[in-house]
Amino acid sequence: MLSEFKNVLGANAVLSNQDDMQPYLREWRGLYQGKALAVVRPSTTQEVSDAVKLTVSYGLKIIPQGGNTGLVGGQMPDDEKNHIILSTDRLNAIRTLDSQGNSITVEAGVVLERIQQAASDADRFFPLSLGSQGSCQIGGNISSNAGGTGVLAYGNTRDLVLGLEVVLADGRIWNGLRALRKNNTGYDLKQLFIGAEGTLGLVTAATLKLFPKPKGKQVAFMGFESPHAALATLNIAQGLAGSNLTGFELIPRIGMEYTYRHLEGARDPLEGEHPWYAVIEISSGRSDAEAEALMAEAFEMAFDAGHVNDAVLANSLTQQDAFWRLRHAMSEVQKFEGGSIKHDVSVPVSKMPDFILEASEAVKATITNCRPVPFGHLGDGNIHFNVSQPIGADKDAFLAEWDRVNTVVHDIVAAYGGSVSAEHGIGRLKAKLMPHIKSDVELDMMRQMKRTLDPDGVFNPGALLP
């Protein structure tokens, strides 16, 4: 079988040696060690189709993998006899860019940062922005419907996709790469594959929306007494800037302390300590001066109303980047503090401050001296409610409490009418939760879709659907 794959894809595109496969089998958080028969790396859509047909003919299963930065194990195979990783890392051409039509067509393996750069080179803007943007690929972003820091103004990945090309479970190629803003001709099939976590087909290319490149930007770093005060400031900034408010990211004091300890060159932008902070970005289609004026007005209004303790407005691009760096490092720095039990939750925006305080008290009552680190996308009502182990505790013993802590947090999420996976997806990590978070009708419709598009369960068994 491996020599047949090599005949079809080329000898270098098929890996079966354990050492060669390791980068594809190791997951970012170290929660999973993957097991697979082989990794195949097609470089064209036709090769993907051939690889799918070949895999099916041997009765094997396909685990699609992009940049391998997913946080719920969806890209991790777990069967060394039957699972083939289909990596898109060689499917990496930017096919076309239409600057007047504001669209770009790229293959699934193009790294997100490259798309941002290509858009910028054409004086356009691609707003999807994640901490993993130097490694994650657009096919993975689409399949996980990634969120990130640009959702506030531009929406999730789903809102940025105009068309898709997909290889189906029988190897047929569906070319839906239409760059249309309007197209009411029946079911919008591309939506099925967005956020499907590789369970319905393999995304090989996408046509994406581009936007005018903002001509000006201002970033501020503000300190608050409570998440309620941060939310009040968000409302003021949104009222003034509307969709030009392009970022509002919450960081707790403990998160800042982690960055000072573990992020090289990190320093506190504000004097004194504040319980909560936010990185706030306002953009302008005209100039830096307009963005600065809006930010200054938002700060003054929030300060006068008693919501903001202190703030600093960036005085250079370097300082803007330094503020964002503090936020983007939040996932990374937690690794140095021992075990961390994660939650990627959303609740209605107005309820988020209450949720944060209630969930923090609840986990502290569950595990004495554990350290809640709730951070992230306050403006989207999406917080990464992570819980670090108590200082000096045994990491494994703490992580053994994962399910118990999850239950405490998820019960509060449910009481607030929220979701237990706001942006990272379900993958293998949360598949067991599906019967508890979806109604029978929803699960039945999802299973029917799966049976229709992938009757033999070729794509990503074990992920998403229990």
By CB under 6 A, residue 42 contacts ligand FAD: no
Locus of tokens 């940025």:
160
Q: Indicate the SS3 state at residue 236.
A: helix
How far apart are the C-alpha atoms of 137 and 126, rounded to whole Å?
A: 14
Instruction: Figure out which of the listed residues 37, 51, 106, 130 binds ligand FAD, where binding follows CB under 6 A.
Output: 130
Contact, 37 vs 81, CB < 8 A? yes
Which tokens is 188 given?
A: 């919008």
Q: Output the smallest distance, CB 63 to ligand FAD, in A.
A: 6
Q: Of these, 106, 146, 263, 282, which contacts ligand FAD (CB under 6 A)?
A: 146
- Using CB under 6 A, pick the residue from 141, 259, 309, 346 that binds ligand FAD: 141
The pair phi, psi for residue 89, each rounded to 5°, is -65, -20
* Nearest distance in Å: CB 341, ligand FAD: 17
Phi and psi at 293, nearest 5°, equal: -65, -40
User: What residues numbered 62-81 form the site for ligand FAD, per CB under 6 A?
Assistant: 63-71, 74-75
Q: Parallel, antiparallel, or unpaired: how do β-strands 124-125 and 340-341 relate?
A: unpaired
Q: Strands 14-15 and 38-40, how do they pair?
A: antiparallel
**374, 275 contact by CB (below 8 A):** no
Least distance in Å: CB of 215 to ligand FAD?
25
End-to-end CA distance of the chain: 29
259 burial type by CB count under 10 A (0-12 exposed, 13-18 middle, 19+ buried): buried
CB of 66 to ligand FAD, least distance (A): 3
Q: Which of 127, 140, 353, 462 binds ligand FAD (CB under 6 A)?
A: 140
Question: Alpha helix (H) ranges present in 374-439?
Answer: 395-399, 402-415, 434-437
Single out the residue of 15, 51, 84, 108 in contact with ligand FAD (rule: CB under 6 A): 108
Q: Which two tokens stand for residue 5?
A: 């794959």
Does 143 contact ligand FAD by CB under 6 A? yes
Task: Pick the piece of the chain touching ligand FAD (CB under 6 A) from 35-43, 117-125, 422-430, 438-446.
Answer: 422-430
Residues 321-340 as x/- pattern, contact with ligand FAD by CB under 6 A: ----------x---------
Among 49, 88, 102, 421, binds ligand FAD (CB under 6 A): 88
Angle formed by the axes of helices 227-241 and 288-304, nearest 10°: 140
**Identity of the amino acid at 205:** A
Site string for ligand FAD, 276-305 (x = CB under 6 A): ------------------------------
Of the pair 309, 340, the CB lying nearest ligand FAD is at 340
Compose the 161-200 pattern: x for residues touching ligand FAD by CB under 6 A, - for all others.
------------------------------------xx--
- Asked if 424 interacts with ligand FAD (CB under 6 A), we say yes
Q: Considering only the stretches 141-149, 310-318, 385-393, 438-446, report the one whose residues sit in contact with ligand FAD under the rule CB under 6 A.
A: 141-149
Closer Cβ to ligand FAD, 148 or 252, answer by number:
148
Is residue 170 within 8 A of residue 56, CB to CB? The reply is yes
CA distance 228 to 357: 10
Q: Which is nearer to ligand FAD, 76 or 298 (CB)?
A: 76
State residue 340 phi and psi, 5-degree precision: -140, 125
Min dist. Cβ of residue 401 to ligand FAD (A): 23
The answer to whether the beta carbons of residues 46 and 89 sit under 8 Å apart is: no
In this structure, what token pair is assigned to residue 419?
A: 């979701």
The contact set with ligand FAD (CB under 6 A) reads: 28, 63-71, 74-75, 88, 108, 130-132, 136-137, 139-141, 143-144, 146-148, 197-198, 202-203, 331, 423-424, 427, 460, 463
